[in-house]
Chains A and B, each alone.
Chain A
Amino acid sequence: MTPNIAIVHVSNPHWRGLHLWLPLFLLWIPLVLLSPLILLVVFCVCLAGRVNPWRAIAAFWGISCSLPGTDVHVSAHGNQVLVRIL
């Protein structure tokens, strides 16, 4: 399943912080609309790099589908960054 939502929290002691919920599923709308152009660019780049375009698309699709569940939390000196992909 492709990622649907990304949560980004950034905070530090001197600042109220940033709490973002990014609706990644909305990216499907421009992606579908621009898909002919994107596919054309991908094919050209792959042919220039002598890479099988189908394998490249499959690899990147596999990566995007396995992103949900990724969780990165870093805190130091009172600063905190949290990135979570659902």
Chain B
Amino acid sequence: MNENRRQILDLLAAGKINADEAERLLVALEDPAPEANGPAEPQPKTKAKYLRVLVEANQKGGPATVNVRVPMQLLRAGVRLASLIPAQAHEHLDEALSSHGVPLTLSQIKPENLEELIDHLEDLTVDVDAKENQAKVRVFCE
């Protein structure tokens, strides 16, 4: 029990405050004081412009590196191509995808879903460190 709580209980025991006042004081003690300037506003998130893929590997013939930078705008434009796939091709694609273990129904994917997917790519970071092959793969947005 902390000092403030003990003082309130002492005041109640001495009859200087009644039970209601003591309760109000205890509740006020438990609630954290609001910040003087109000809650801090979240920092505006800068939009990522590029998707980067970095691969570093040590092979027998020497080190190999791959450094790819793709504009996010290109990804957005690319996924819009999916809307050009004719409806009759969807079934074939769905079958092919499910046979390869990807249970995806293309007809259920709407353009707004794809936009959302690209938006969430900005939060994606993939780090792969394969010690056996001394290879490192990094995928991130910047």
Chain A residues with CB under 8 Å of chain B are 49-52, 55-56, 58-59, 62-63, 65-78
B84 near A56 (CB under 8 angstroms)? yes
For the A-B complex, the count of residue pairs with Cβ-Cβ distances under 8 Å equals: 70
A51 near B86 (CB under 8 angstroms)? yes
Closest B residue to A63 by beta carbon equals B77
Could you tell me the dominant secondary structure of chain A's interface residues?
mixed
- Please name the 8 residue pairs, one residue from A and one from B, whose CB atoms are nearest each other, closest first: A76-B64, A66-B73, A62-B77, A71-B69, A77-B61, A66-B74, A69-B71, A73-B67
Q: Which residues of A contact B50 (CB under 8 A)?
A: 69
- Complex-state Cα separation, A52 to B85, whole angstroms: 10
Q: Which residues of A contact B80 (CB under 8 A)?
A: 58-59, 62
Chain B residues with CB under 8 Å of chain A are 49-50, 59, 61-71, 73-74, 76-78, 80-81, 83-84, 86, 88
- Complex-state Cα separation, A66 to B70, whole angstroms: 9
Indicate whether A63 sits within 8 Å of B83 (C-beta atoms), given known contacts A71-B69, A73-B66, A77-B62: no
Name the distance in Å between B57's Cβ and chain A's nearest Cβ.
8
- Complex-state Cα separation, A55 to B84, whole angstroms: 7
Q: Which residues of A contact B59 (CB under 8 A)?
A: 76-77
B84 near A70 (CB under 8 angstroms)? no
B77 near A59 (CB under 8 angstroms)? yes
Q: Which residues of B contact A78 (CB under 8 A)?
A: 62
- Complex-state Cα separation, A72 to B68, whole angstroms: 4
A63 near B74 (CB under 8 angstroms)? yes
- Complex-state Cα separation, A20 to B80, whole angstroms: 31
Q: Which residues of A contact B84 (CB under 8 A)?
A: 51-52, 55-56, 59
B74 near A75 (CB under 8 angstroms)? no
B71 near A66 (CB under 8 angstroms)? yes
Q: Which residues of B contact A55 (CB under 8 A)?
A: 83-84
A-B contact pairs, 16 of them (CB 8 A): A49-B86, A50-B86, A50-B88, A62-B77, A63-B74, A63-B78, A66-B76, A69-B50, A69-B71, A70-B71, A72-B67, A74-B65, A74-B66, A74-B67, A75-B63, A76-B65
